[in-house]
């Protein structure tokens, strides 16, 4: 029944009616507004391996990466994000929230560590920390962290242990169980990694809908050996014949147009080659190989074609990885999870200058990029992939430690295509995800206070281009060392004296200010040493729990080197 005012009933003034309606319905409007706030997000962290800072399109590259570019266009890009310069330290830091040296996953001057190091019991990984909030965690791809995957809190895993042949599954593990032998017809590691991730997502959608998930998607690509599908290589076959100088200049110009960098372009260091010298590899690879970034016009025709072909394979691997990421995105959309999934993308270190021959060796008569070949990018095109920065993987100059970081979350990040200049580090991922998941940081473990975690939450930077406050960022790897305080960076390669750079205008590390500013050098050196001493004291407490030298099989030790 509808009631309406009669002639005997005065009509309420519209202004008064509006006020009453506002009072009556304001709580409901507020509740509806609260309901629009995103729930705890799903999280997908995508990690590439040996990807250069400028390799993907949205960071200046010419490689076709439409899916990653789309995430960047509808999310945010961090311009000063860092890794640890090497694969296994980065993975340990990323998943634990601690510097690798704090948890025995990289060495200190007085404490051995690295790929064979064993974390302390308290150094739990992100899946274990998320479990109390109801998250289910999945892993697809490279592991390279100590211990079985499932014991670290993941409920499913594809462990790509075979990192020497992209066309074979031999040696891999599923849920920590070795895969059965297969003829591997049609197998390619990058596709298999995405297939596993998609299968996990489908299972989650059908059996655990409504439960948040964390998926760690760690591609091997574009790590050596340079293996790619023939159709992907053909797309880039002749694209790099102009050489690494031309590629660097083109990428730098694009980066400047995108306002990604505000620094001069670094100079090629013709005297800096691979971090490890394997003369026998150069013999096996033949006269086309070059282990220095020499002027392109000084190379022979054979050398130019050989180098351009290697870069074409590297590009094909990145292109294919982006394509497979697109399939994962399509699955997230199909299951209705895309809007409330926070997707990160980063690289474990800079592009690699390494040149070596491992595993099954190298057949110079085989088609480049096929299973019978073993090629590495080398210092020439590695320098171009790390544009505009200096040096490569293993060094802690900017070229070794700078990574793209894309963050895309439609329900939680309203910014579209914006840049974030705050410095950040992979140790920041754990506190960021825990904050969004509503998980309070753990302060103790079994009655003992935990060491303070160095990471900072990046959540404030999701909303605006603000600086996440921190005292410093610190690096040490194989004698290469660095510290960053504000825009000042102190850095030295193994055996070299400290050099000082103002990264606000010189991220390419071209103008060494150490002689002009000795007091600043001493100030930053004290910061670096204090961190080193604290980490050493912590690591020594559990030194007796570390494996003795030579305790692991040599094959495992070789696998852990990269």
Q: Which residues are identified as catalytic?
A: 87, 144
Alpha helices for 106-222 (secondary structure H): 126-130, 189-207
Q: Which two tokens stand for residue 310?
A: 């290697």
Residue of 434, 334, 351 whose CA lies nearest to 400: 351
Alpha helices for 335-391 (secondary structure H): 379-385
Q: Strand, helix or coil at 342?
A: strand
Q: Which two tokens stand for residue 516?
A: 């002009």
Give percent helix, percent strand, percent coil of the chain, each to the nearest 5.
35, 15, 50
Q: Strand, helix or coil at 432?
A: helix
- Chain centroid to Cα 36, Å, comes to 31
Euclidean distance between CA atoms 422 and 431, whole angstroms: 16
Residue of 113, 44, 38, 7 whose CA lies nearest to 478: 113
Residue whose pair of structure tokens reads 């605006």 in the numeric block: 464
Euclidean distance between CA atoms 157 and 199, whole angstroms: 11
Rg (CA), the chain: 25
Residue of 490, 480, 475 whose CA lies nearest to 427: 475
Q: Which residues pair with 48 in a beta bridge?
A: 347
210 backbone φψ class: left, alpha, beta (φ>0; ψ -120 to 50):
left
Euclidean distance between CA atoms 312 and 387, whole angstroms: 17
Cβ atoms within 10 A of the Cβ of 83, count?
A: 26
Q: Strand, helix or coil at 213?
A: strand
For 11, which DSSP code?
P
- Chain centroid to Cα 326, Å, comes to 18
Burial of 472 (0-12, 13-18, 19+ CB in 10 A): middle
Euclidean distance between CA atoms 267 and 538, whole angstroms: 39
Q: Which two tokens stand for residue 460?
A: 């404030």
């Amino acid at each position: 029944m509808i009631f309406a005012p009669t002639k005997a009933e005065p009509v309420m003034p519209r202004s008064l009616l509006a006020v009453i309606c506002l009072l009556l319905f304001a709580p409901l409007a507020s509740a509806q507004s609260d309901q629009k706030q995103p729930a705890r997000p799903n999280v997908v962290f995508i990690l590439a391996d040996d990807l250069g800072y400028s390799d993907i399109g949205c960071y200046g590259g010419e490689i076709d990466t439409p899916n990653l570019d789309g995430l960047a266009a509808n999310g945010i890009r961090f311009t000063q994000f860092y890794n640890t310069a090497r694969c296994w330290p980065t993975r340990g830091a990323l998943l634990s929230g601690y510097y690798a040296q704090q948890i025995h996953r990289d060495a200190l001057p007085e404490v051995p560590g690295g790929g064979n190091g064993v974390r302390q019991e308290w150094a739990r990984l992100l899946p274990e920390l998320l479990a109390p909030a109801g998250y289910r965690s999945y892993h697809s791809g490279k592991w390279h962290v100590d211990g079985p995957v499932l014991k670290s809190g993941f409920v499913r895993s594809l462990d790509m242990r075979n990192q020497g042949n992209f066309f074979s599954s031999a040696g891999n593990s599923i849920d920590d169980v070795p895969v059965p032998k297969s003829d591997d017809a049609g197998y390619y590691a990058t596709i298999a990694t995405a297939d596993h991730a998609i299968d996990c997502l489908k299972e989650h959608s059908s059996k655990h809908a409504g439960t948040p998930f964390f998926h760690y998607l760690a591609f091997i690509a574009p790590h050596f050996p340079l293996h790619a599908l023939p159709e992907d290589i053909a797309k880039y076959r002749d694209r790099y014949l102009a050489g690494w100088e031309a590629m660097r200049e083109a990428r730098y110009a694009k980066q400047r147009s995108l306002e990604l960098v505000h620094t001069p372009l670094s100079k090629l260091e013709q005297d800096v080659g691979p971090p490890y010298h394997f003369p026998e590899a150069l013999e096996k690879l033949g006269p086309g190989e070059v282990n220095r970034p020499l002027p392109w016009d000084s190379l022979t025709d054979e050398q130019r074609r050989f180098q351009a072909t290697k870069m074409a394979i590297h590009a094909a691997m990145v292109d294919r990885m982006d394509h497979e990421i697109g399939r994962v995105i399509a699955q997230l959309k199909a299951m209705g999870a895309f809007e409330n999934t926070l997707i990160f993308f980063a690289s474990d270190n800079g592009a690699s200058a390494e040149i070596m021959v491992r595993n099954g060796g190298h057949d110079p008569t085989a088609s480049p990029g096929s299973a019978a070949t073993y090629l590495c990018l080398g210092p020439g095109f590695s320098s171009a992939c790390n544009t505009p920065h200096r040096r490569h993987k293993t060094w802690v100059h900017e070229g070794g430690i700078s990574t793209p970081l894309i963050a895309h979350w439609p329900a939680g990040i309203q910014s579209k295509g914006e840049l974030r200049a705050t410095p950040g580090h992979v140790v920041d991922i754990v506190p960021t995800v825990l904050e969004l998941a509503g998980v309070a940081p753990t302060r103790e473990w079994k009655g003992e206070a935990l060491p303070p975690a160095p990471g900072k939450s990046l959540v404030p930077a999701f909303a605006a281009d603000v600086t996440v406050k921190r005292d410093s960022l610190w690096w040490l790897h194989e004698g290469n060392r660095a510290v960053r305080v504000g825009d000042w960076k102190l850095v030295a390669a193994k055996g070299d004296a400290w050099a000082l750079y103002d990264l606000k205008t010189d991220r390419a590390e071209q103008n060494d200010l150490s002689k002009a500013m000795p007091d600043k050098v001493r100030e930053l050196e004290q910061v670096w040493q204090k961190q080193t001493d604290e980490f050493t004291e912590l690591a020594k407490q559990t030194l007796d729990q570390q494996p003795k030298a030579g305790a692991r099989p040599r094959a495992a030790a070789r696998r852990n080197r990269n």
